[in-house]
């Protein structure tokens, strides 16, 4: 084999190694990708809705629209919040958003309305759809003594929360869990639910970096106490999932 051919072969080998390394690095970077700008604003919107801080919510709503969230996506976050924060917080959030949209229209800002929710499956009841969604999110059928003790709450969770709300495809499951985690992390006394939704979030495909991104937004915009508590709960979840 001539020296020229050997040199060419070595060059090809080095090129293949370099390409493989770059591809691997890009794949790892994609896997560890943090939140994008739209998702960061979902965190802030859900958090301030949960806390009832309407001036900060108003700013977050404007930032969300500027970041590319559609009007219907933000509406969907605010509607979902009633299941976790109660009707008063949700209604106040929606009312604040109405004012934001009107102000922006008056300034000549035309925000994208976005798509409407698709019709629900005609061949499934809300309970059937909700049971499927809940099981998909949890990874296993959800059972427990609390649901035996109060079966009505089991039915409402399946039919209404995971069926009627999570069944609406304006937001995907990842976005819904980002909003839910952010809201729960901004409330006191709900760490068991926060822990459960960190797990559900991982099951939707959210990465550890994205979870930490949620906590970073909470730290920067909501408060140190909230972010530190969320980080502690996430740590417990990670230690459990790694076993």
Please give the pLDDT value at position 241.
Answer: 84
Structure token pair of residue 44: 């802030």
Residue 9 has pLDDT above 80, yes or no: no
Quick one: average pLDDT of 44-66? 98
When computed from its CA atoms, the radius of gyration of the chain, rounded to whole angstroms, is: 22
Q: Which DSSP symbol is given to 139?
A: S
Structure token pair of residue 107: 């300034």
* DSSP per-residue string spanning 107-119: TT------PPPPP
Q: Higher pLDDT residue, 18 or 174?
A: 174
The pTM score is: 0.86
Rounded to whole angstroms, the Cα distance separating 191 from 231 reads 11
Please give the pLDDT value at position 4.
Answer: 53
pLDDT tens per residue across span 147-183: 999 999 999 999 999 999 999 999 999 999 999 999 9
Please give the pLDDT value at position 171.
Answer: 98
The domains found in the chain, sorted by start residue, are 37-117+168-241 (1.20.1290.10)
Indicate the pLDDT class of residue 73, thresholds 50, 70 and 90: very high
Indicate the pLDDT class of residue 33, thresholds 50, 70 and 90: low
Please give the pLDDT value at position 157.
Answer: 96
pLDDT tens per residue across span 137-146: 999 999 999 9
């Amino acid at each position: 084999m001539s020296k020229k051919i050997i040199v060419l072969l070595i060059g090809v080998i080095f090129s293949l190694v370099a390409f493989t390394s770059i591809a691997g690095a890009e794949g790892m970077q994609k896997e560890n990708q943090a939140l994008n700008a739209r998702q960061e604003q979902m965190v802030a919107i859900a958090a301030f809705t949960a806390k009832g801080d309407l001036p900060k919510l108003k700013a977050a709503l404007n930032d969300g629209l500027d970041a590319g969230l559609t009007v219907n996506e933000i509406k969907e976050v605010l509607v979902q919040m009633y299941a976790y924060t109660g009707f008063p917080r949700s209604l106040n959030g929606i009312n604040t958003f109405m004012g934001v949209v009107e102000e922006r229209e008056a300034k000549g800002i035309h925000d994208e309305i976005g798509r409407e929710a698709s019709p629900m499956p005609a061949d499934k009841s809300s309970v059937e759809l909700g049971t499927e969604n809940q099981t998909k999110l949890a990874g296993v059928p959800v059972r427990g003594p609390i649901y035996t003790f109060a079966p009505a709450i089991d039915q409402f969770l399946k039919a209404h929360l995971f069926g009627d709300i999570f069944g609406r495809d304006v937001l995907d499951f990842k976005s819904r869990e980002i909003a839910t985690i952010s809201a729960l992390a901004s409330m006191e006394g709900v760490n068991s639910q926060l822990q459960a939704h960190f797990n559900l979030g991982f099951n939707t495909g959210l990465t550890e970096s994205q979870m930490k991104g949620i906590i970073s937004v909470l730290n920067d915009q909501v408060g140190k106490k909230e972010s530190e508590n969320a980080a502690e709960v996430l740590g417990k979840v990670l230690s459990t999932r790694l076993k």
